[in-house]
Each structure stands twice: as structure tokens, then as C-alpha cells.
Chains A and B, each alone.
Chain A
Amino acid sequence: MAEYQTVYGSLANFTKGGVEVINDDPKNYVFSNMFDVANRSKPWEKVAIGKNLEYVVECIRAEGVSEWRVTPHDEFALVVDGEVVIDLIDPSASLVDPSASGSRALPGEPEGKKMGRVTAGHGHMTLLPAGRCYRMSASSPSVVLLQTILGPDTIERWAEICQKY
């Protein structure tokens, strides 16, 4: 029986594929690699690597301690490299319009009840619940994919990260 090896990518080791054009424009495929993007990002930048109308998938280089953020809707954080600790607070007052899109940065630690903490390793997905505040930290460079909605801090740099030719 064959022994299989699952191949993942990481900040330290990844291989990109690509678009081989027959009769098309490679830009139509908005092709990038999350580890390539994270290697070129500053810590905690929220760089869109996927966009579907108002929805985005953001690639976040997790390194050090992030700011506190509040999200108006559920978000989902998937660790694809390294380990990330996520602290959650239930704010004592509403800090974001529930109809808003994307998370907002907060000036400091919000007042409220501590909800708990998740230590998420490779392949672990964490709920960032609507109306709550979160902060991430990573003791070594890690990568988070965030399922969310385009917000004020989403960075779109498609021409820099995507295959053009």
C-alpha cells in the first residue's frame, strides 16, 4: 500500500502553480499564492486574495500582537501556517453597526467580559462572532485566511500579487 504525503505550503516553503493560457487573459483568473502574499505583507495587513462582489478572503501575516478589532458579522479565521492565539471579548457596549461590513480597529482593549481564548494551530478554524471583539497574537510568523466582507481595512493590491502574463 502506497504511503501518501500531504503537501502543504508555508511561508518558508511553497511552490506556485500558474495559468497556462490557450486563448485567454491570465488576469481573468486573479491567480496568487497566499504564502507569497504573506511573505510580502507587513504584520496584520488584511490583503484580499479572493473577492466575490462584497465578500473577500483576506490573507493576514500574523506576527506579534494585533490591534483589537470588532466585527459586525461572523468571520472565520483559518490558520494555514504556524500558530495563532485569539482572545475574545464581549464588549459592554455596542461598538459597531451590525449592518456594517468588515471588521473595525479599536483604539485599545475594549471594556467588557472576557469570553475566552483559542490557540489555533495549522489547519484550525476559529469563529470570530458577530458583535464581539478579538485580538490575535503569534510568537512566530504565521498565516491566517479570513472569511469576511470587504471592510475599511481590506487591502486590494491585485496588480502586485496576481499573475499578469
Chain B
Amino acid sequence: MTEVSEVTVLTGEANEHGYKPFSIGEFNFSRDEHFVHVTWPSGTHVTAAEPFLKALMRDVAWNFFYGTVNFDAVLGTTNHYGNVDLFAGRFNEAYRKAELDHMENFPHDEIKATFTAMLSDWTNASFDPFAAPMETGSAYGAKLGNNDAAVTRTRVTANRMVGIPGDEPIRTDDSGYPVNRAFHDVDQSAPLVEVEPGYENEVSAYNFFAYLSRSDVTWNPSVVSVCKDSLYCPTTEEFILPIIHGNDRVEWFIQLSDEIIWEVEDLKTGTPRAKVVMKAGDCASMPADIRHRGYSPKRSMLLVWENNSPAIPDMIARGEASVVPVKF
């Protein structure tokens, strides 16, 4: 193993399929034409390369997100905002009982660098982990180039609101965001904005649905409006959420178009708790003690609404905030 960047990334020579191995702590990762193999002192895990890369893409792009990002029922990360747990079997009741689980904590920059390098090396030119299944080639086979342009996309984070001068721009054909194939019927007309001189930065509006219709990624919330710690993080969804998100705070979903079906499990054990069927106009919270995975039969518009306050996980741990948003 050799060090390849300022932050220590432990990697080695490419195997017969062209892919490098990676290690962090006592976890070892390798891939072949079809599968990703993970080992730790008390166990091993194998998973298909495509879902692994899709999950890894979200974990890297979201900076480990809020709470826990389960790649599947075994492997995942928990964000402590500055440091990150990498675990195998920790939130799987059977692995815990069999004492096969393992967890290590790493500085944020170390695990981010390792995952970023892994994502770059293991993603072939033909595959875009952010794309819907019908909009990308295969993740499988021997190493063939890379797709760094796709895996290093910048996540949109408006400071105030999309479209305000100096903030995140609206999307257009000319800026490289054509209307997605599933949203050709979405009205692209702009609001009528009449501004008195001097108020150009405050009298502002944009076509939010048109903006979403031009998203080139799936299951990737981006910030479009900011009211202190209240963030509107809309996203377009198609097929299956590539991770199972374990909440460390209450999260809200507002279904703006079409339909998503959410499978909800207990955060710690994975035991099924509910199914939430959301149709256009529906609004639902995800409690802070669950994990969830969404299924979107057709590309849909979902408004994910987050409270970004860094104090919330500790407030919940101390009992100062509930795992549910409202009691009635």
C-alpha cells in the first residue's frame, strides 16, 4: 500500500480487472468486474458494483449527509459532522447478535479522500452513478477509463434563493441543462417580475418546477431557498434511492409531482415499521428514529425539507427534542 494524497489514502496496484484496492483502518475494499468485496476483522461482505457505486456517489457528494447512510443492510456511514463512523453490520440485528459487526471512526477528511479516490477509480467511463437507469451505461466489466466529470459534479447550494443576482443561476438549455425526457410537459414559462429601480436583488422569482425539470441527476437534493436553518432541498427521483437513509433529525418530504413509495424501517435494527405512499400534494415527516428508502416508478419532483441546525442530534440525545415533529 502507498500514500497517494495529502490526506492518507491507502491504495495499491490495480488487480487483473484494472481496479485498485483501498483500505481505511481495518476495512479493506476491492472490486472485480461485477462485485465489490469488503473485509473487516470479524467478517466479509460482497455487493454488486452498480448499487455500491451509486451509494458511494451520494455519500461523497452529500458529505456524509444527515445521520446514517446505509449502503445496504450491512455497510454504511454515520456522520458526526467533523468525523465519520464507517460500519459493517452495526445496525443489523443478526450481525450484532453474531458479533460480526465492526465500526471505526475516522476524521472527515480521511474517509472523504478515501471514498473519493475509490469512486474515481471504480467508475468506468460508461457509467454515471447519479443518472437514472435508462440514462446511463453499465457499471460492470473490467476498468475502462473514468467518469470524473460525472462523479465530481458540484452540489447546488443556494445562499438565499436560486435566480437572485449573484446566487445559483436558473437552468437553461444554454447552460447545459435540457429538460429531462420525463418532464417535457412541464411548463417552462417564467414568472412576470416587475421591479422598481434599486430592488433588483430583492424582487425575484423563478420557475421552480422548470428548474427541477432540468435536473440531470436523481436522488440528489440541492438547496434552492434558505430561511435561516430551514433549507428547501428539492430533487428529482426515478427508480430506487441508492441508499437507505437513517435520520439523525426529523426530515420532511413534500411530494410535488407523481408518486414515491417509502419503505420505513427501525433505525437501529432494520425491522420494518411502515410504508408511506406519497402522491402529488402529500406531505409527511420522517421521524428521527427510522431509516427509509424510496421507490419512484416515474421521474418525480420531491421537496426534501431539512432543519440544518447542528444542535439537533445532541438535542434529541438529551431528550430536548423529540424524534417526531408534532404530537397530536
Point out residues on A near B: beta carbons under 8 Å: 1, 3-9, 14-24, 26-36, 49-53, 55, 57, 73-76, 78, 80, 88, 90, 113-127, 129, 132, 145, 147-149, 156, 158-159, 162
Contact = CB atoms under 8 A, between A and B. Distances in A.
Nearest to A158: B328
Interface string B291-320: 000000011010001110100100000000
Contacts of B225: 74, 76, 125, 127, 147
Contacts of A75: 227
Interface stretch (B73-81, B103-111, B193-201): B193-201
A57 B325 CA distance: 12
B14 interface: no
B283 A53 contact: no
A156 B327 CA distance: 11
B191 interface: yes
B202 A19 contact: no
Contact of B164 (A120, A127, A149): A127
Nearest to A123: B209
Contacts of A90: 199
Interface string B223-240: 011111110100000000
A9 B185 CA distance: 15
Given A20-B277, A147-B230, 11 more contacts: A8-B257, A29-B285, A30-B283, A31-B284, A49-B254, A57-B283, A115-B203, A116-B199, A118-B205, A125-B205, A162-B328
Q: Which 10 A-B pairs have the closest CB atoms?
A: A123-B209, A9-B281, A17-B277, A116-B203, A158-B328, A119-B192, A55-B230, A9-B280, A126-B205, A52-B307
Interface stretch (B41-49, B119-127, B148-156, B267-275): B267-275
B42 to A, nearest CB: 30
Contact of A34 (B181, B259, B281, B286): B281
Contact of A149 (B228, B271, B281, B324): B228
A158 to B, nearest CB: 4
A95 to B, nearest CB: 16
18 contacts: A4-B182, A6-B185, A14-B279, A15-B280, A21-B274, A31-B283, A33-B282, A35-B281, A49-B283, A50-B305, A51-B325, A51-B326, A52-B305, A116-B199, A121-B191, A123-B209, A147-B227, A147-B232
Nearest to A1: B181
Contacts, number: 235
B264 A24 contact: yes
B37 interface: no
Contacts of B258: 6-7
Given A50-B283, A50-B285, A125 B224 contact: yes
Interface in B47-80: none
Interface of B: 160-162, 164, 181-187, 189-196, 199, 202-210, 224-230, 232, 249-250, 252, 254-259, 264, 271-287, 298-299, 301, 305-307, 309, 312, 321, 324-328
Contacts of B192: 118-119
B232 A29 contact: no
Contacts of B278: 17
Given A17-B282, A159-B328, A123 B207 contact: yes
B283 A20 contact: no
B291 to A, nearest CB: 13
Contacts of B202: 88, 115, 127, 129, 132
Contacts of B324: 27-28, 30
A56 B193 CA distance: 26
Contact of B193 (A5, A20, A114, A118): A118
Given A76-B232, A116-B195, A30 B285 contact: yes
A20 B276 contact: yes
Nearest to A84: B191
Given A57-B252, A125-B205, A125-B225, A20 B284 contact: no
A89 B145 CA distance: 56
Nearest to B289: A28
A22 to B, nearest CB: 5
A37 to B, nearest CB: 8
